[in-house]
Chains A and B, each alone.
Chain A
Amino acid sequence: MSVNSSDDPAAQKAASELNNLLEIISGTSSTLENIWAGNDGAQKYFDMLRTSVDRAAAVTAELAEHAGGTNDKVLLHPELMDFARPRKMPPPAAKKTRRLLVVDDEPMALVLAKRILSEAGFEVETAQSGFECLDLFRKRPRHFDLILLDLSMPFMDGEETFSRLRGIWPDVVVLLSTGFIAKERLDRMMAAGMAGFLRKPHRPDEMVAHVRSVLERAQMLRAGCTVNTLVAS
């Protein structure tokens, strides 16, 4: 699309807000679907809901792209990307519970993310602002294995929070999750050491899979594995 309206803040805001809401609708419907699993009568309606959400998401994606937003759905930091998921991974010595900090100014999004990620076996803490995130992180910088960070938050957005987090501990693993981000801004943040990016709305399994993938790769990177040693194994 050649139309350049990347400086249209109203469209950007609308895209962001719509995606945030779609994220909540999609997450809620998946959670309900799990609760009602096996009920054939309900399944039909959940399918309708999902189809509608997907269609709405497609429209919003167009709006977002028109407003200069990235159309990337999932991104990994190049350094992490080098670790193509090996077919045969040596099993981890002990399955340690991974600790996540989810940061979002939308309480509903926090409730959902906490539920979904806890059910996937993670230990989840939440923060409702960049300030709270920094307060929690500063006390125990090595406590969290990954921070799932929202971008648009009032007074202290995800970008500033991210750079402050890096200031406290440069090796912090941050996964950005947002409904809208301008391409250049995303590039800038990825270049600054963001571990990954996940565009809202995403299905719960997508979120869990991406969190797992970032965690695994970050762990390997930290353990000093190189791409070669992995290939060799």
Chain B
Amino acid sequence: MSASLAVAFDQLSENRLFEGIESGLLDEIAPSVRVVQLSPGDVIFREGDPGDVMYLVGRGSVKISKAGRGGQQETLGFIQSGNFFGEMALLDGEPRSAMATAVESTLLGTVDEPTFQHILELAPSRLHMNFLRSVSERLRSVNSHFISEVMRSERLSLVGAMANSIIHDLKNPICIVRCCSDLIARDTTDVRIRELAAMTDKAADGMLSMTQELLDYARGSTSLSCETVSIWRLLDELNQQALQLLPGHNVQFAKNIRYDGDVFVDLPRFVRVLANLIKNAREAMPNGGILTMSTDLVNGQVVVRISDTGIGIPPDLLPRLFEPFVTHGKSHGTGLGMAIAKSVVTAHKGKISVASVQGKGTTVDIRLPVPAGS
């Protein structure tokens, strides 16, 4: 063993795995421990890799992370010097369940299975004890992580319940506004007042359905009342709610209606999703551009696409786009739009996806089943 490696192993011998093990035994093991020097960011193993060695951290630290929702890495914890990791794969022979990355300049010792067996034979009671202690520590940490997660979701559901009651109370005044405007419209022959009353009605209806949407979101459920409607009906609703806002923003509207049959949708909710996507598209084109809406029949599915020629979405945001509270390039908005879009489309047994090139534009693709009998 070279002098530097001997020094390195000195650091490894302080490892918790070897606690209480005689130095004579360690000398016997030392030649089988391979020493590795890592730079910050070096990947030690990835999730799913076959696992045949465990690691002792002699110096530096290692991050353990796992792919979470949307594909980004969520940190599970850090292994500091003097501790070990990667032993689970060695015990159960399963592939790596997480990813390990060097955080800083790190010195590792690798112990392969024969060496591990050898140590077990040499000092069974000590090694088992060290192992058990480490495992129980990790169990405790995972447990507390789990409990705080549960508490967080508990808090969220509390917020949900609160939102529930606020939104429920909000419905009453909105209904009163609606009733009053109906009465005003009935009591007058003035066309203009009737028109204003109709606008009030429409705005109140919009608020009602928005609160319903929030309520649905807070409850985490989406109760749909679907009906069979034609693409034309869908476009007519969109025309009234969203398209009329376009011309003032120097946005051209193009349409390719290649499927003009029926869809089976909860019309107000589905139209709100599309209106929201159109609003996003318009906001992505502050200097104007072309907004294209198309409908097609592809592989027995109705495909509705909304594309813009706008600024696009940064690639790192794309995987998280459908998560709540993710917004891009907006100073306003709840950040719920795309999350609701996904939940509504999924509730329709459909799929939604987004493709975007920065500086070129974005396309949202919604696929719905073709209604039975059409």
With known contacts A154-B243, A154-B244, A155-B255, A131–B260 Cβ distance under 8 A: no
**In the complex, which residues of chain B have a beta carbon less than 8 angstroms from the beta carbon of A131?**
232-233, 235-236, 239
Residue A12 interfacial (CB < 8 Å): no
Cβ–Cβ contact A132 & B243, under 8 A:
no
Cβ–Cβ contact B230 & A132, under 8 A:
no
Cβ–Cβ contact A155 & B239, under 8 A:
yes
**In the complex, which residues of chain B have a beta carbon less than 8 angstroms from the beta carbon of A155?**
235, 239, 243, 253, 255
Pick the residue among B236, B239, B240, B260 that contacts A164 (CB under 8 A): B260
Interface residues of B in 240-263 (CB under 8 A from A): 240, 243-244, 247, 253, 255, 260
Residue A231 interfacial (CB < 8 Å): no
Cβ–Cβ contact B239 & A129, under 8 A:
yes
Cβ–Cβ contact B235 & A156, under 8 A:
yes
Q: What separation, in Å, do the CA atoms of A179 and B116 have in the docked complex?
A: 91
Residue A135 interfacial (CB < 8 Å): yes
Nearest-neighbor residue (CB-CB) of B233 within chain A: A135
Pick the residue among A129, A139, A154 that contacts B236 (CB under 8 A): A129
**Distance in Å from the Cβ of B16 to the closest Cβ of chain A?**
70
Cβ–Cβ contact A154 & B230, under 8 A:
no
**In the complex, which residues of chain A have a beta carbon less than 8 angstroms from the beta carbon of B229?**
135
Residue A134 interfacial (CB < 8 Å): yes
- Total interface residues on B, CB under 8 Å, equals 14
Nearest-neighbor residue (CB-CB) of B235 within chain A: A131
* In the complex, per-residue mask of A125-138: 1 if CB is within 8 Å of any chain B CB, else 0: 00001011111001
With known contacts A155-B253, A155-B255, A164-B260, A135–B230 Cβ distance under 8 A: yes
**In the complex, which residues of chain B have a beta carbon less than 8 angstroms from the beta carbon of A135?**
229-230, 232-233, 236
**In the complex, which residues of chain A have a beta carbon less than 8 angstroms from the beta carbon of B232?**
131-135, 138
Q: What separation, in Å, do the CA atoms of A139 and B231 have in the docked complex?
A: 12
**In the complex, which residues of chain A have a beta carbon less than 8 angstroms from the beta carbon of B247?**
154
* In the complex, per-residue mask of A52-66: 1 if CB is within 8 Å of any chain B CB, else 0: 000000000000000
Interface residues of A in 133-147 (CB under 8 A from B): 133-135, 138-139
**In the complex, which residues of chain A have a beta carbon less than 8 angstroms from the beta carbon of B240?**
129
**In the complex, which residues of chain B have a beta carbon less than 8 angstroms from the beta carbon of A138?**
230, 232, 260
Give the total number of A-B pairs whose CB atoms are below 8 A apart: 37
**Distance in Å from the Cβ of A29 to the closest Cβ of chain B?**
16
Q: What separation, in Å, do the CA atoms of A98 and B229 have in the docked complex?
A: 27
**Distance in Å from the Cβ of A31 to the closest Cβ of chain B?**
13
**Distance in Å from the Cβ of A206 to the closest Cβ of chain B?**
25
**In the complex, which residues of chain A have a beta carbon less than 8 angstroms from the beta carbon of B236?**
129, 131-132, 135
Q: What separation, in Å, do the CA atoms of A132 and B236 have in the docked complex?
A: 5
**In the complex, which residues of chain A have a beta carbon less than 8 angstroms from the beta carbon of B244?**
154
Q: What separation, in Å, do the CA atoms of A156 and B247 have in the docked complex?
A: 14
Q: What separation, in Å, do the CA atoms of A154 and B235 have in the docked complex?
A: 12
Q: What separation, in Å, do the CA atoms of A71 and B102 have in the docked complex?
A: 81
Nearest-neighbor residue (CB-CB) of A153 within chain B: B239
Q: What separation, in Å, do the CA atoms of A131 and B235 have in the docked complex?
A: 6
**Distance in Å from the Cβ of A143 to the closest Cβ of chain B?**
15
Question: Among the interface residues A131, A138, A139, A164, which one has the most CB atoms of the partner chain B within 10 A?
Answer: A131
**In the complex, which residues of chain A have a beta carbon less than 8 angstroms from the beta carbon of B230?**
134-135, 138-139
Interface residues of A in 96-151 (CB under 8 A from B): 129, 131-135, 138-139
**Distance in Å from the Cβ of B190 to the closest Cβ of chain A?**
14
**In the complex, which residues of chain B have a beta carbon less than 8 angstroms from the beta carbon of A164?**
260
* In the complex, per-residue mask of A2-42: 1 if CB is within 8 Å of any chain B CB, else 0: 00000000000000000000000000000000000000000
**In the complex, which residues of chain A have a beta carbon less than 8 angstroms from the beta carbon of B233?**
131-132, 135
Nearest-neighbor residue (CB-CB) of A133 within chain B: B232
**Distance in Å from the Cβ of B80 to the closest Cβ of chain A?**
63
**In the complex, which residues of chain B have a beta carbon less than 8 angstroms from the beta carbon of A133?**
232
**In the complex, which residues of chain A have a beta carbon less than 8 angstroms from the beta carbon of B235?**
131, 155-156
Q: What separation, in Å, do the CA atoms of A154 and B243 have in the docked complex?
A: 9
Nearest-neighbor residue (CB-CB) of B253 within chain A: A155
**Distance in Å from the Cβ of A169 to the closest Cβ of chain B?**
13
Q: What separation, in Å, do the CA atoms of A134 and B230 have in the docked complex?
A: 9
Q: What separation, in Å, do the CA atoms of A138 and B374 have in the docked complex?
A: 13
**In the complex, which residues of chain A have a beta carbon less than 8 angstroms from the beta carbon of B260?**
134, 138, 164
**In the complex, which residues of chain B have a beta carbon less than 8 angstroms from the beta carbon of A132?**
232-233, 236
**In the complex, which residues of chain B have a beta carbon less than 8 angstroms from the beta carbon of A156?**
235, 239, 255
Nearest-neighbor residue (CB-CB) of A168 within chain B: B260
Question: Among the interface residues B239, B244, B253, which one has the most CB atoms of the partner chain A within 10 A?
Answer: B239
Q: What separation, in Å, do the CA atoms of A154 and B240 have in the docked complex?
A: 11
Q: What separation, in Å, do the CA atoms of A164 and B231 have in the docked complex?
A: 13
**Distance in Å from the Cβ of A210 to the closest Cβ of chain B?**
27
Interface residues of B in 208-234 (CB under 8 A from A): 229-230, 232-233
**Distance in Å from the Cβ of B233 to the closest Cβ of chain A?**
4
* In the complex, per-residue mask of A65-87: 1 if CB is within 8 Å of any chain B CB, else 0: 00000000000000000000000
Could you name 15 residue pairs across A and B whose Cβ atoms are closer than 8 Å?
A: A129-B240, A131-B236, A132-B233, A132-B236, A133-B232, A134-B232, A134-B260, A135-B233, A135-B236, A154-B239, A154-B243, A155-B239, A155-B253, A156-B239, A156-B255
Task: Please name the 6 residue pairs, one residue from A and one from B, whose CB atoms are nearest each other, closest first.
Answer: A131-B236, A135-B232, A134-B232, A131-B235, A135-B233, A132-B236
Supplied contacts A154-B239, A155-B243, A155-B253, 13 more A-B pairs, CB within 8 Å: A131-B235, A131-B239, A132-B232, A132-B236, A133-B232, A134-B232, A135-B230, A135-B232, A135-B236, A138-B230, A138-B260, A155-B235, A155-B255
